[in-house]
Amino acid sequence: MRTLSQEEHFRTGVSGDFATGARRFHSAATRLLLSGDGLTTTMLEAWARGPMCLVSRNCRLAFPVPPDAEELLRVRDRPVLVRESALADPGGRIWSVNSVVANLDLNATAARCFTGAEPLGAALKAAGVACRRTMVRAGRRPWSGEPAAFRTYVLWFEDQPLAAIRETFNPALVDAGLAETP
């Protein structure tokens, strides 16, 4: 998996609000995936009819904070953790690549989840870390030269932004076609 520059982490392919971006997709399944407020891994497992596993993971500290993540996390003066990962089915097909920029100062238990080898949502749930999501953007961005569906959201711990997450979905598996507009 290619390592993204800090500037590429949360750049959007579609401007505008989240709901407008998600509604632009032709496939109802894609719209549901992008709009879902539950665990992405669980949704992908239902779609793939099998378990997902983390097949690649790269974690590093970054400073300065990637610009869009800085705005979403409200963090400017300290390093953040950048985690890049991919989810694959048992056949090795990659369903999503994910970029997480996390504020490690808010919760030590959550910080351990960000560096672990499990899908993030499942790790947070197993650790008892209750978070909520605020969807920020949905649209298309490149995946090996093809447009792919993506979404960006903020994961909150209590009333503080814990992580900015961007999930990009393999266009060979998740339809990234846009609905025709009148």
SS in 3 state form for 121-161? HHHHHHHCCCCEEEEEEEEEEEECCEEEEEEEEEEEECCEE
State how far Cα 68 lies from the chain centre. Answer: 14
Q: What is the pLDDT of residues 94-103, one digit of tens each?
A: 999 999 999 9
Average pLDDT over residues 155-162: 90
Question: Which of 8-12, 22-26, 72-76 is predicted least confidently?
Answer: 8-12
Domains and CATH numbers, the chain: 13-169 (3.40.1410.10)
State how far Cα 123 lies from the chain centre. Answer: 15
156 vs 19, residue with greater confidence:
156
pLDDT-derived band at 56, boundaries 50, 70, 90: confident
As given in the structure block, the two tokens for residue 22 are: 């998600």
> What pLDDT does 122 receive?
83
Handedness of CA 154, 53, 127, 103 (dihedral sign): negative
